[in-house]
Amino acid sequence: MDIDKRKFLKVIGITSALWVGSRFTGGLSSVFGIGDTLDKKALADAGFEISKTLPDPKALIGKQWAVAIDLRQFKTPDDYKKCINVCDKIHNIPDIHTKQDVKWIWEEPYDNAFPEQHNNYMEGQLKDKSVILMCNQCEFPPCVRVCPTGATFKRHDGIVMMDYHRCIGCRYCMAGCPYGSRSFNFRDPRPFIKKIDPDYPTRTKGVVEKCDFCAERLDKGLMPACVEASKGAMVFGDIKDPNSDVRRILSNNFSIRRKPELGTQPNVFYII
Amino acid sequence: MYNSGKIITGLIIFVGLVTLPFWYSIGKANIKPDPSLNTPVINQMKVKHCIESKQFMIDNHMELLNEWRNAVVRDNKTIYVSTTGQYFTMSLEDTCFHCHSNEKQFCNQCHSYVNIQPYCWECHVKPAEEIANGH
Amino acid sequence: MIEKAFYGSKKYWIWILFLLAFLGLCFHFYLMQLNQGLTITGMSRNVSWGLYIAQFTYLVGVAASAVMLVIPYYLHHYKAFSRMIILGEFMAIAAVTMCMLFIFVDLGQPMRVMNVILHPQLHSVMFWDMTVLSGYLVLNLLIGWTTLESERKNVAPPSWVKPLIYLSVVWAISIHTVTAFLYAGLPGRPYWLSAIMAARFLAGAFCAGPAILLLLVFLVQKFVKYRVGEESIQTLSKIVTYAMSANVFFLLLEIFTAFYSRIPEDMNAFRYLFVGLDGHTTLVPYMWVSAGLAIVSLAILIPPQLRNNTKLLTVALIALVISTWIDKGFSLIAAGFVPNPFDRVTEYLPTFPEIMIVLGVYTIGILILTILWKVAISVKEKTTA
């Protein structure tokens, strides 16, 4: 009789406490024997506090990151490929060959990258030239303005960042971006990644993604991967710092930006 | 009583539905989860200690991970200072899985038991050991 | 009052069962989408919104159009609408519900939909659209249900309803204005970047919404004894006529600005729609059908002697609904993404599963509408008999 009763209580206790309750009662301590509960007050008295977080002392600090792409130095197909491939590889970009593809950094012919600059009588070399495209990391990004959840936002250092945990996949940012810099995961990307780099998460189906200037590398003190791979053809730095490399190259060379008339203040500059 | 047949049938269905969780788990073995700490990295540790106390981690690892991702993704903070003053990189891959490289014997033990399916693995890459085994 | 929905003829129940069965079929396709992702739709990296968002847009208009009954009836005490008004309010409820469902089925991560409330972004038009739509749903439920209940009990509606009704007039305008702002505020989409977008939306809504209402009334009158009254039909079709004229006028304004200025980016979407761009002509036939039907509907609606003939009126209304649907419920969204930021054309056509999911949402709307109208008409038949 006693044993039966105990068994019954166990069934009730475990099923109700765990099957239903554990998500709401906040804590898995009940798993380790019913009755053991955590003494949170004691923990607090012992001086415990969560969320002491710091930036990495090695992290690169800037007010608004920008990149100047010296197109004159992109001569062979390999000059483009090395920048694009390294990004695809370290960020686990799926290689999808349909209209539902995913791109962070890619090439477009000059005419398509700058359609409003179209000129029937243009110098041949530039006309046929490929241009490296990526997110412009706008100073006033329309994608951030329209995002209904704050899943895309502007970081303190100007990077237009994606929070893949928060994105609901409404794709309003894709309608908002005038540069076509955003991609949606119409499906699970994993089957389309040749070799998954375990150091960087893949994305899941149903979220939007884009280039984030290698925020994860900047936070460790490293340059964006494409900049590093370009061997000087791309110059990266803080556009608000008058002594930065990017400011130096921009002040000495004529540069253009994509759709500057929209007032988004893109931070990818092209030296042609 | 009018419509007694309908009322009683309705009551039976209602009680059946409400108690469904109990019926669901009757006959299922209630094996106590036993997360394993048997990984190469942990075995080499002199003092086996997670970034915070065991009890705290058991209870709050999900909140902690949530704070971590907010700090890393939204505030460019990557270092966590534990209550004992130690520094850790806030990274599931580089920190958590560095020691807990046994997802099946560690994470899944409790998660399966309480029937929750965290979606970490849809994006984050499982510990190396698991990948090597073809999962 | 809801009990009225549980007593009905055999036909009523067969209809409900049919809707439920069809809904089950459609739901299967939604599960497929949940499982595989939005890859089962015809949407792409360049055309990232499609039929779902277009239906949402169209139905916000249908919902807002209830105001075309509310203004004459409550503000001008136009009593001829007394037998029609509740049908309009209840149609708005069904329409708003469908709007919300269309947003929901469009989400890549539907489980996270509450993030919109958990992390509200006041600078996002979508946040405000959600706010005004939910508010409109609540307003219509409160107003419609309360006034009907009072009517059943043969008492005057409680005094707190009046201010809500006045609020609902402004609110109805707001839902479609805010929905237009979703598109009209985007810098890189010239087809949408137009100050008269909201006005165009409202004009389109105020013709299409009442047209659908009238067609549904004609249909339901075949099955029930309840009659809305000839005068109300004539008045509403007059409203439809004015609104459709304004709708076509606004479209012509857009075309003038684009083609007289000859700014390529402003012309491109219209070119793509009506003659094709860079050899892409998928939507061209649809657009000419839409234009042709618009002319047909106006040709019947404008002369009173044609408009007052119920058979011709029905033809005109059907033509109008199809015409405005092609324009606003389909091409408006697809063409907004043409050409893409790289001056290329990516075409869009919905896939079969996508269409089934759309039909599923419409089925839910029809189910809600059936139940609400059943209640309304049952009450009305008793009180006005």
pLDDT top residue among B103 and A191: A191
Comparing alpha-carbon positions, the chain A residue that sits nearest to C39 is A186
pLDDT top residue among B127 and C128: C128
Q: How close is the nearest chain A Cα to the Cα of C128, in Å?
A: 9
Question: Do A94 and A208 belong to one domain?
Answer: yes
Tally of structural domains, chain A: 2
Q: Residues of A202-221 as b/e, b for ≥16 C-beta within 10 angstroms? A: bbbbbbbbbbbbbbbbbbee
Question: Do A139 and A218 belong to one domain?
Answer: yes
Handedness of CA B105, B111, B117, B121 (dihedral sign): negative
Question: Do A96 and A167 belong to one domain?
Answer: yes
Q: Would you state the pLDDT for residue C161? A: 92
Question: Do A102 and A210 belong to one domain?
Answer: yes
Answer yes or no: do B24 and A15 touch at CB < 8 A.
yes
Q: Would you state the pLDDT for residue C384? A: 67
CB-CB: which of C108, C185, C336 is closest to A185?
A: C108
Tell me, yes or no, if B74 comes closer than 8 A to chain A by beta carbon.
Answer: yes
Its domain, for residue B47, covers 31-132
Q: Is residue B120 part of a domain?
A: yes
Q: Would you state the pLDDT for residue A44? A: 52
Question: How do residues C97-155 score in pLDDT, each as one tens digit?
Answer: 999 999 999 999 999 999 999 999 999 999 999 999 999 999 999 999 999 989 888 88
Its domain, for residue A16, covers 2-45
A 10 A CB-CB count for A122 gives 13
Q: Is residue A59 part of a domain?
A: no
> What distance in Å separates the CA atoms of residue A11 and residue B27, rounded to the nearest whole number?
10
Q: Is residue B62 part of a domain?
A: yes
pLDDT top residue among B26 and A76: A76
> What distance in Å separates the CA atoms of residue C19 and residue A233, rounded to the nearest whole number?
62
Q: How close is the nearest chain A Cα to the Cα of B2, in Å?
A: 35
Tally of structural domains, chain B: 1
Q: Is residue B124 part of a domain?
A: yes
* Residue A141 to residues A156, A179, A264, B103, Cα–Cα distance (Å): 14, 11, 6, 40
CB-CB: which of A27, A163, A219 is closest to B76?
A: A219
Question: Do A160 and A31 belong to one domain?
Answer: no
> What distance in Å separates the CA atoms of residue C41 and residue C39, rounded to the nearest whole number?
5
Question: Do A19 and A127 belong to one domain?
Answer: no
Which regions of chain C are under pLDDT 50?
A: none
Tell me, yes or no, if C39 comes closer than 8 A to chain A by beta carbon.
Answer: yes
pLDDT top residue among B116 and B132: B116
Tally of structural domains, chain C: 1
Element (H, E) at B81: strand B79-81
Look up the ipTM and state it: 0.92
Q: Would you state the pLDDT for residue B93? A: 84
Comparing alpha-carbon positions, the chain A residue that sits nearest to B54 is A29
* Residue C94 to residues C62, C138, C362, C380, Cα–Cα distance (Å): 10, 12, 9, 19
Beta strand A268-271 with A65-70: parallel, antiparallel or unpaired? parallel
Which residues lie below 8 Å from residue C70, measured CB to CB, with a gap of 6+? C85, C88, C89, C165, C168, C169, C172
Provide the β-strand partners of residue A69.
Answer: A234, A270
Q: Is residue B76 part of a domain?
A: yes
A214: left (phi over 0), alpha (psi -120 to 50) or beta: left
* Residue of B18, B54, B59 to mutate, testing the A interface (most A Cβ within 10 Å of its Cβ): B59
**Token output for C39:** 């890859």
Q: Is residue B20 part of a domain?
A: no
Q: Would you state the pLDDT for residue C2? A: 81
Q: Would you state the pLDDT for residue A37? A: 37
- In C345-374, the residues whose Cβ lies within 8 Å of chain A are 346
Measured between beta carbons, which residues in chain B are less than 8 angstroms from residue A215? Answer: 76
Question: How do residues B39-49 score in pLDDT, each as one tens digit?
Answer: 888 888 888 88
Question: Do A121 and A205 belong to one domain?
Answer: yes
Answer yes or no: do A180 and C39 touch at CB < 8 A.
no
Which regions of chain A are under pLDDT 70?
A: 1-51
Q: Is residue B17 part of a domain?
A: no
Which residues lie below 8 Å from residue B62, measured CB to CB, with a gap of 6+? B118
Its domain, for residue C210, covers 2-384
CATH of the domain at C225: 1.20.1630.10
Answer yes or no: do A99 and C46 touch at CB < 8 A.
yes
Tell me, yes or no, if C128 comes closer than 8 A to chain A by beta carbon.
Answer: no
Q: How close is the nearest chain B Cα to the Cα of A150, in Å?
A: 10
CATH of the domain at A224: 3.30.70.20
Q: Which of C360, C371, C367 is nearest to C101 (CA)?
A: C360
